[in-house]
Amino acid sequence: MNSLMLVIMLCTIVFFWWDSVGVKEKAREAGRQHCDRAEVQFLDDTVEFVRLRIRRNYHGQLRFYRTYRFEFSSTGAARFQGTIYMLGRTPDKVQMQAYPPAL
């Protein structure tokens, strides 16, 4: 019985990890698209995981609410931070730090 519980826990951990990798990729793509629309540079082509919570989606279902951070630049000289909030596998919102316009 203990080995069955161990296998179930291991499968759960692997599934969570696999799901997290996919969500991180979607967050990276959401950050890149948001930067393209704002006409700024998405730096380092990556996002950093910050926080994990559980939250209800718009249909009342419980989902993981993940927060990711990324960096961008409007001038190429200074770095600014942005935040991506993922509700399940869907981008919920993207926020960007105030930045000076490019010349």
**Whether the model pTM is above 0.85:** yes
Residue 79 sits in which domain range? 2-96
Is residue 31 in a domain? Answer: yes
Comparing CA positions, the residue from 74, 93, 94, 91 lying closest to residue 82 is 94
Mean pLDDT of 10-37: 96
Is residue 19 in a domain? Answer: yes
Task: Say what the pLDDT of residue 54 is.
Answer: 97
Is residue 103 in a domain? Answer: no
Is residue 54 in a domain? Answer: yes
Domain count across the chain: 1
Task: Say what the pLDDT of residue 103 is.
Answer: 63
Comparing CA positions, the residue from 68, 69, 62 lying closest to residue 86 is 68
Neighbours of 31 (CB within 10 A): 26
Is residue 101 in a domain? Answer: no
Is residue 6 in a domain? Answer: yes
